[in-house]
Each structure stands twice: as structure tokens, then as C-alpha cells.
A and B are shown apart, each in its own frame.
Chain A
Amino acid sequence: MKVAVLKGGRSLERQVSLRSGARVEDALESLGHEVVTVDAGDDLVRRLKHARPDVAFIALHGADGEDGTVQELLEIIGIPYTGPGVAACRRAMDKPAAKEIMRAAGVPTPEWVSFSQTAFSQLGAADAMEEIEALLGFPLVVKPARGGSSLGVRFAASRDEVPRAIVSALSYDDRVMLERHVRGRELAVSVLDGNPLPIVEVRPRDEDLYSYDARYEIGRTEFICPAQLEPDVAAAVRDAAVATWRAIGCEGFARVDLILGDDGPQVLEVNAVPGLTDTSLLPMAAEAGGLPFEELCDRIVELALKRSRAAA
């Protein structure tokens, strides 16, 4: 089979994407597929139309690759692709939108508010700080509304720190989300075709919880898989993840990030194209669940073809 691996692109997660893509290529080649590598640029569509692959493996993270844009292009030129569809990608990428869907589906997620840049610059949103403080408390977390990484994510311990954090977050997107900070254990549940893989616990070794780098540099973060949890807690975590997967409308594979606080699991976000590098959580979970990386990739491709056949 001819598989186009889409990687790289222009997002701020380019390096991670290149690593994900390279690993996927190796796996697909060892499975005997013909691999065409595509670094996503302005010739993406042309190259895909020329190569005519049987399926496109999307290993792009961040803007374009994870927000439904590339998926939409693949739909229109009729090439089956891996992972969630256009609408699910769009919902997952937009954190406040995803949280609204979770809340409607009864999935616990930390309280939040979200504003556009113009809300501050033209509508005086800053005057609502008192109400925001009452709703979220301190410390709170400020994030760009879209973006798959921790870039632009800041803690604000007091009201004074909020403006700076908002300016930072709005460097990455034109909307910002302020979220209640939930203290607890950081967990990730990878879901493959609706089924949860073993839970991974992420323990940053540094104090700096939201250091973007720490997540991808070996030795800086400790991963425990399967996470050591009481059976009923683990079940609650898995249920929350699968409920999120369903509510967002994911297909293929995705990763749900949660915090396990005093009141049980709370879902933070869904990654429609989670990392597939040597240190990424989804491959780790798959391996712990008895699914080596090659088989994981095989499964992901198979699911993509199954979906396209069903649609035809």
C-alpha cells in the first residue's frame, strides 16, 4: 500500500512533528508499505494529487495539521486519512469549544472563561476581572484558546499577574482562555477506536510544570505507565476519557489529558493528533497495552481505510 506521511509544517510544533513522522515512516516501511514523505508546505495538495497515495498518515501537530485544515483538504481531493475527521479536529483544537461540548455531555472539566482580543481592546473585558476572579479563583491558568502545546500557557497567582499572562497567551492566538487551576496528578488517556489504552501519569521532574520543553526532552519528565491508581479511580478516569472522545466525535485515535484532583478526574483537553515520537504518551500507552508501535500504526491506517470505505 502507498502511504503518504504528512509531517513538519509551519506550526510551532514542527520539530515534534518531524520526529513523529520519521518514526511513523520507519514503522510503515517495516510493515512493507511504500512510504511517501510530505513536509507540509504550499505544495502539499499538488504533491498529494501527484503521488495518489492510498491513505495519508497525518503526523502534523498544531495549527493546520490538527485543526481540521489538512483534513478538509484531504476530504476534497478524496484521500483517506488517519485520525479524527474535520469537525472533531476543529472542536478539539479549540479548547473552550471542546470544554463546552464536554460540559454538555456531563464530562467534568475545570471552570473557564474565554475572550477574544477585541473583548479586551474594545469592550473593556478587563472590567469583569472581579467576576472572573470570583468564578475561577487564584492561581488560575491562562492559555491561548487554540494550540496543542504549552506555548503561551502561564499561571497567574494573583490579579497583578493576569494582564501579563493574557498578553503572552494572545501572542499565540487571538483568543484566550482563563481556567481554574486544579491541583492534582497529570494523566493522559490515549484512545484507539473508542477503546482506552493504559493510563499514563506524567510527573515533571522540574518545578516548572508547564515548561513546553520538558515534555519532549528525555530525562526531564517521568512517565508512569500504567499509572498506579485504585481500580475505581482508574475506571472513572477511563470513563471520562471515552465520554470525551464520544462527545467530540473522535475517530481513529486521540489523546485525552486530565487532572486527577480531589473531586475526581477533570478533563483539560483532547489532542486530535497526539505526538508519536519515541517519548510520546500514546505509543507508550499502546506498548504497555501490548500493541507495539508498528502494530499501532497498522491499526491506525486500517481504521482510516475502514472509515473511508464506510463513507463511500
Chain B
Amino acid sequence: MTERPEHEPAPAQRPQTPARQRRAHTTARDLERYAGLFADRTKVMRSSAMRDMMEITARPEVISLAGGLPDTSTFPSDSFAAQMTRIAQESAAQALQYGPTEGFARTKECIREVMGAEGMNPDPDDIIVTTGGQQALDLITKTLVNPGDVVIAEGPTYPGVLPTLYAYEAQTLQVEVDEDGMRVDLLEELLDRLHAEGRRPKFIYTVPSFQNPAGVTLSDERRRRLVEIARERELLVVEDNPYGLLRYEGEPEDTLYKLDGGDFVIYLGTFSKILSPGIRLGWLCAPPPVMEKVVLGKQSSDLCTSTLSQYFVDEYFAEGRWMAYIESLRGVYRSRRDVMLDALERHFPTEATWSRPEGGLFLWATLPSYIDTTDLLARALRDNVAFVPGAGAFVDGRGQSSMRLNFSAANEDEIREGIRRIGRVIAEQVELYGALNRDAEPAPREESGPGGEVVPMRRRPGSR
């Protein structure tokens, strides 16, 4: 493989500054003093145990099926070099300057091309270029949510949205997901209940296509119903669609934004999964009154999105090969997905169920309820393999026996071996549990769906 452009220069080439210049006198009492200053929102932080485990996950000897990384190694480095050179030669001064808060018009044209590929045709004025999709999430939450406001998300939901919702002190309620995406019937029940309490959710957050983490896609019928509900009740839906173009089989569904025409659906997109996460470029489409506030919010956050990254995207799209690159990614990810599904069939016990995603980067596996996947991860790390425990995708302790598996970042051999190792530690725990319940029946089997492989994502009783 050629040199990977994202690698940093070796640290030795940098001027050596003394590594640490910290004061030596922090005491427990000092810390208590700082603790008194912290905002309430900082209380919800990721556990140190999870941090430790995730750090181990990143070690080279560990096969990680935990990340959400796209594979950037297939990006042609010569064309990357040529584009950056062109920018340096022709537009260095502008590319190194601030840009407009809403983003460059040319970047918005690239965005319109991407959205056009999924049948959408947004007004450029309705688009703001953001620092990754994550900032779009942050901005929309900042714009809409007061402390205590209700936000509805899928259960499981994208784990990365939760810190944002916590940070703005939203009360997050989750609506169960099955193989056809969010249970829109349950959403309606929840909305009725909230209405009866005089509460109005600020928005409904959804990843309708190849959902992170569940890997499921919202059916056409449910999409139409969701858009109707939003219109009838005048509620905002935030549609997060990072993976829409990464479909490996089946027919594309219309996006909610397309169905709704952009009145009640706010759309989030990103270049992270179709080009590069390192350039930190995403976008948000919203109706003008919302956009006005989002732009003000963006000004306070970071003034504008990286000019250099926007120039890069312009150059890249000017070459006209962006769709061909996505096509090549689809080929790579499709076969990795197939390898993972095949390995799951081979190595996971019959008690396990999992989703069969038609696109995206993730699938979601559910194990017998007596297995806690956080503990299982600790065990799996002893065998140098990692996944994401399901509990992180819920706000209420559900998901303890589920896991998210990523099939985009590891190569096929690693996926096969990784699933084999995870399967082995699961089998060990299933056997152990069976041995511990000898006078009872053998380990209780989770009833599996009629097809066996598609996962009914059951409501988990006993949460809360």
C-alpha cells in the first residue's frame, strides 16, 4: 500500500518541547473545588471503565469490530495529492482564509449533487455546511432544546447522539426498533401519551436507512406515516442519513426529506462515509426560520467550517468520479458484510439473533438475556477482539445483551477471525450458564423469529 496521507509525521521530526509542564499540587480538595464549578450537564460522562476498554480496542493486536470507521485506505492517494496541489497552487490564499458561516456556494452544489443522487433537490439557501454530521446534530439540538425538553429517538439509537442530548439536558425517550425500523405505531402511542401530559417533543431523531447501530431500514410505509405524523402534529423530524448511498442490495427508499419536501423534516448529511471523515464535512438542511437560528449557533461554535476541506471537496467533485468511488466502497463493504453474516451463521450460537442490513456499516446482534455484553467485551478483549456493547445505545439500561458489530473497517480475514473469537467466548458463557442451571432446564433459549436470521428486536421488559 502507498503512504497513507492521514498519517502524522513522525514525532521525532517535531521540535521537542518538554512533554509535561503541569503543576504538581492538585489535591483532592482542589478537585472538589473544581467539581463545585462544573455544570450539571458534565455529570453524565462516559464511564472510565468503558474508556479503558475502548482504548484497548484501539491496540494493533486487537481485531476491532467496534469502530464506525469507513475504510479510507482505498482512497486513491495520487488523486488526493493532485487535488491538494491544485488548491495550493491556485487558491492558497483563499483556502487558508475564513469562509462564510453557511459554507461556500460551490460546496453546497456538491451537497446538492449528493442529495440529488437520492432524489432530493434542496434550495441552496436551506443548506448549511457543518463540521461533520456531529456538529449538525449539536447545532440542531442547541437551536431547539431547552433543559428538560423531550426528544424522541430510536431504541437503540446512534450512541454518539446521546452525549449531545445530555449536554443540552434533553429528556430522551426511545421508541423500539424492529426489522422495519422505528415502530411508528409505538411512536404515535408515545406522542399521544405526551400530549395528554401537555408535553410536546422538540424533535424526533431518526437514522432511517441502515440505522446505526441496529442496521435496519425504515420501511416505505412507515416513512410515509412518519412524515404524515410530523405534518399532522406539526413536529420536527431530524433525519440523519450518513449511509443512504451505501446500499448493497434492494431498492432505495425515498428519504423522509424527499417525502416531506423539507417542511417538517430537517436533514443531516455527511461526507464522512462517502469520502472521508478526516475532512470533517457535513451539512444540515432546514426551513429558513430554523436555518436563521442554526447559522447564529454555528457562529458561536466555530464561525465557519474548514475552508480547506471545502476546497478539497470542490476539487474532488470537479473530477466527477465521486460516484465511482462510492461504487467501489459499496463493493468492498458488501463483501465484508457477507463475510460477517456468513461467519455469524457459522460461529454464533443458535440462541443469538442478528440483523441483516441491506447497507451501511453495522449490524446488531442480540444474545441470551443472561449475557451482559459489557462483561463479555472484557472477556473478548482477553482474546484480542472487540465490539460495542449495546447498553451505550440506550438511555435506560436496555441493550445489555446486545452488541453492535462494524463490518467496514476490518478486512475479510479479520472479520472472519473476529467473529470466530466472539462466537467462542459467547459459547463459553452459554455453556457456563447452562452448567449453573442444571436442575432448571438448559439455558433458556430466546425465541427466534420465523426466518431465524432476521431479528425481531424485542422490547426488553424490566428496564427502568
Contact = CB atoms under 8 A, between A and B. Distances in A.
A39 to B, nearest CB: 11
Interface string A22-64: 1101110110000001000000000000000000000000000
Given A25-B20, A278-B27, A121 B52 contact: no
Interface stretch (A69-77, A158-166, A185-193): A158-166
Contact of A12 (B25, B45, B370, B378): B378
B435 A124 contact: yes
B48 A217 contact: yes
A213 B49 CA distance: 7
Contact of A167 (B55, B59, B370, B438): B370
Nearest to B50: A213
A127 B59 CA distance: 41
A120 B55 CA distance: 32
B375 A163 contact: no
Interface stretch (A13-21, A82-90, A251-259, A298-306): A13-21
A37 B20 CA distance: 11
Interface residues of A, number: 47
Nearest to B53: A12
Contacts of A126: 435-438
B24 interface: yes
B379 interface: yes
B51 interface: yes
Interface residues of B, number: 42
A171 B400 CA distance: 15
Given A13-B52, A26-B20, A217-B45, A284 B28 contact: yes
Contacts of B371: 167
Nearest to A280: B28
Contacts of A293: 24-25, 27
Contacts of B26: 23, 278
Interface core residue of B19, B23, B28, B43 (most chain A CB under 10 Å): B28
Contacts of B372: 164, 167-168, 171
A223 B28 contact: yes
Contacts of B101: none
Given A11-B52, A26-B23, A37-B19, 17 more contacts: A10-B56, A12-B52, A14-B52, A14-B56, A22-B20, A26-B22, A26-B24, A29-B24, A30-B24, A126-B438, A167-B433, A168-B375, A170-B432, A171-B378, A213-B48, A283-B28, A284-B28
18 contacts: A12-B49, A12-B56, A16-B48, A22-B20, A23-B24, A37-B19, A121-B435, A124-B435, A126-B437, A167-B371, A167-B375, A170-B432, A213-B48, A216-B48, A218-B32, A287-B27, A287-B28, A294-B24
Interface of A: 10-16, 22-23, 25-27, 29-30, 37, 117, 120-121, 124, 126-127, 149, 151-152, 162-164, 166-168, 170-172, 212-213, 216-219, 223, 278-279, 283-284, 287, 293-294
Interface of B: 19-20, 22-28, 30-32, 34-35, 38, 43, 45, 47-49, 51-53, 55-56, 59, 370-372, 375-376, 378-379, 429, 431-433, 435-439
